[in-house]
């Protein structure tokens, strides 16, 4: 689970880490008018890109009811129309305009969640087989803010396998299934936000892909994971989850425009993310142009592998430092931000920076993380389960999956056991306790600190330790999202550290035994019992 900095850089170059600005898409500078246009048949609008793609939006509710590429219908029959949120319903107002190179279809409601406004935009560009989108949400908020595209799996059969639940039997909360002995779920299609390069489904020489766009209005930071695909017996579903609350560590950002993002239709070779900066000239509500933005530049120091993040109630951004530590942010909305330095996914420094339109603010950041010499250290302080047992599987299958190694309980012997035998997750009702055995010489017996880092916790779970005959006080639970985490393909919650001050009298010369239990008064049974994800355990 160690992060590949090349993937971070590639994601940033594709615009995932922030925004880039320009004028028109390259193809739009040389439009071909053949077939490009907007048709109104009274009940719906149909837009043709002039390059083989047409799509139809129903006036009654704003659903996309047809996606046709070179005569092949990609929207399956007998399913709901593709839609934003869970569909805007029959109060939606749908309008459309064509102006030269662009077709803009706008759907909106003003009674969202009672009296809120939600606006969703579809844009077609002459000669390009993309549907560009953006979604504005006012202060009333939204539920699961997403675009869900239903696709004909008779045409597009190649889906991300861990998220294909066709023919499955539900085993947890009706959204995790057992299929042919493997656990599958829409949750197991996730990647961290910083790595959201285009991804899609393919078949018969056709591919439909999602370009996730900038994530400035989403929440959870660069390492947040969410649903991307699902396969059912009726269709293939391609998502862009803009906000969901699925173990999200931040509140929903409101009074902002989400996107732009794009649905792309091409062949079976994944295309690059398209230039979407032209949408700044279309009058989209909430769009902040480059002239209204600023930058942050500085130097990150104290660690060699890192990411710099920025966040406030209106936006989030991140930047990958150069090898010498220097960095420049994407173009940012004006305002005061928390600037965070991450060691892997672990926050190791935080400061404040203010961004002004048309200016670059200078703000260095240095790691404040303390890594003392340790008697033992199991894992790395990087905010992930790292190389622990089953860590490579936890984002793409349920912990009960037969492809998982046995979870334990585990006894880990310092100096003999491999780090891969230490559990990535520990549950009260599954594999508790975890036991660590280590040896001390007479000159090593003194007051010591045991640190246990976790990356997420479910149902108030936290560690309590016993060292030989000494038992630690009961710690308070960490602050975590109120959502399932460990079974829905993510270890990403709020990193927390529990420090236990162990007196000299607890130790013996020779073999010592440290027992880590999960304590909580909440939770259910089995893999829904109280549990947490390990980051690192050390003693110094």
363-387: average pLDDT: 96
CA distance 242 to 229: 14
Q: With bands split at pLDDT 50, 70 and 90, how would you rate the model's confidence at 175?
A: very high
CA distance 296 to 397: 39
Quick one: pLDDT at residue 447?
98
Is the model more confident about 6 or about 136? 136
CB atoms within 10 A of CB 324: 9
Quick one: pLDDT at residue 29?
34
pTM: 0.92
Quick one: pLDDT at residue 20?
40
Give the SS3 label for residue 456.
Answer: strand
**What would the two tokens of residue 22 be?**
């320009």
pLDDT tens digits along 101-110:
999 999 999 9
pLDDT tens digits along 265-306:
999 999 999 999 999 999 999 999 999 999 999 999 999 889
**What would the two tokens of residue 249 be?**
């560590």
Specify the residue for token string 């030989």.
468
Closest CA to 217 of 306, 286, 275, 293: 286
To the nearest whole number, what is the mean pLDDT of the chain?
Answer: 93
Closest CA to 213 of 189, 197, 229, 202: 197
Quick one: pLDDT at residue 25?
53
Query: How many CA atoms lie within 13 Å of 262's alpha carbon, on the beta-carbon side?
Result: 28
CA distance 435 to 215: 41
Q: How does 456-495 read in b/e, with b if 16+ C-beta sit within 10 Å?
A: bbbbbbbbbbbbeeeebeebebbebbeebbbbbbbbbbeb
Quick one: pLDDT at residue 290?
93
CA distance 463 to 477: 9
Pick the range with the lowest mean pLDDT from 103-107, 141-145, 213-217, 508-512.
141-145
- 110 burial class (0-12, 13-18, 19+ CB within 10 angstroms)? middle
pLDDT tens digits along 87-130:
999 999 999 999 999 999 999 999 998 899 999 999 999 999 99
Q: With bands split at pLDDT 50, 70 and 90, how would you rate the model's confidence at 7?
A: very low
């Amino acid at each position: 689970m160690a992060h590949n900095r090349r993937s971070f850089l590639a994601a940033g170059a594709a615009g995932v880490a922030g925004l880039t600005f320009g004028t028109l898409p390259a193809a739009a500078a040389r439009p071909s008018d053949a077939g490009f246009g907007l048709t109104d048949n009274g009940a719906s609008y149909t837009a043709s890109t002039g390059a083989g793609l047409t799509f139809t939006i129903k006036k009654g509710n704003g659903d996309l009811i047809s996606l046709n590429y070179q005569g092949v219908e990609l929207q399956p029959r007998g399913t709901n129309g593709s839609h934003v949120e869970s569909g805007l319903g029959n109060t939606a107002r749908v309008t459309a305009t064509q102006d030269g190179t662009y077709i803009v279809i706008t759907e909106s409601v003003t009674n969202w969640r009672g009296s809120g406004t939600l606006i969703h935009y579809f844009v077609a560009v002459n000669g390009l087989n993309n549907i560009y989108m953006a979604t504005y949400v006012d202060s009333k908020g939204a539920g699961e803010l997403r675009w869900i595209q239903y696709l004909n799996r008779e045409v597009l059969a190649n889906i991300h396998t861990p998220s294909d639940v066709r023919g499955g039997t539900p085993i947890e909360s009706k959204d995790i299934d057992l299929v042919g002995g493997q656990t599958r779920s829409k949750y197991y299609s996730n990647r961290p936000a910083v790595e959201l390069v285009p991804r899609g489904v393919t078949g018969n020489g056709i591919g439909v892909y999602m370009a996730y766009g900038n994530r400035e209005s989403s929440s959870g930071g660069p390492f947040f994971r969410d649903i991307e695909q699902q396969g059912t017996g009726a269709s293939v579903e391609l998502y862009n989850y803009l906000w969901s609350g699925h173990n999200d560590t931040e509140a929903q950002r409101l009074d902002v425009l989400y996107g732009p993002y794009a649905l792309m239709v091409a062949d079976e070779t994944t295309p690059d993310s398209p230039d979407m900066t032209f949408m700044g000239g279309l009058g989209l509500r909430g769009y902040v142009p480059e002239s209204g933005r600023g930058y942050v530049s500085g130097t990150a120091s104290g660690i060699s592998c890192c990411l710099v993040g920025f966040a406030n109630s209106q936006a989030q951004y991140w930047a990958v430092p150069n090898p010498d530590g220097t960095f420049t942010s994407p173009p940012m909305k004006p305002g005061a931000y928390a600037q965070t330095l991450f060691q892997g996914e672990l926050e190791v420094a935080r400061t404040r920076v203010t961004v002004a339109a048309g200016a670059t603010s200078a703000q260095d950041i240095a790691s404040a993380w303390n890594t003392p010499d340790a008697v033992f250290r199991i894992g790395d302080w990087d905010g992930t389960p790292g190389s622990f047992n089953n860590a490579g599987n936890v984002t793409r299958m349920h912990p009960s999956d037969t492809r998982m190694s046995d979870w334990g309980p585990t006894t880990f012997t310092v100096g003999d056991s491999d780090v891969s035998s230490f559990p990535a997750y520990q549950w009260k009702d599954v594999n508790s306790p975890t036991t660590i055995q280590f040896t001390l010489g007479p000159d090593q017996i003194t007051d010591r600190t045991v640190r246990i880092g976790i990356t997420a916790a479910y149902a108030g779970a936290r560690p309590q330790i016993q060292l030989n005959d000494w038992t630690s006080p009961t710690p308070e639970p960490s602050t975590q999202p109120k959502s399932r985490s460990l079974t829905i393909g993510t270890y990403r919650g709020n990193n927390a550290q529990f420090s236990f001050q162990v007196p000299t009298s607890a130790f013996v010369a020779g073999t010592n035994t440290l027992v880590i239990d999960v304590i909580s008064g909440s939770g259910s049974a089995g893999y829904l019992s109280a549990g947490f994800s390990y980051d690192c355990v050390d003693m110094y």
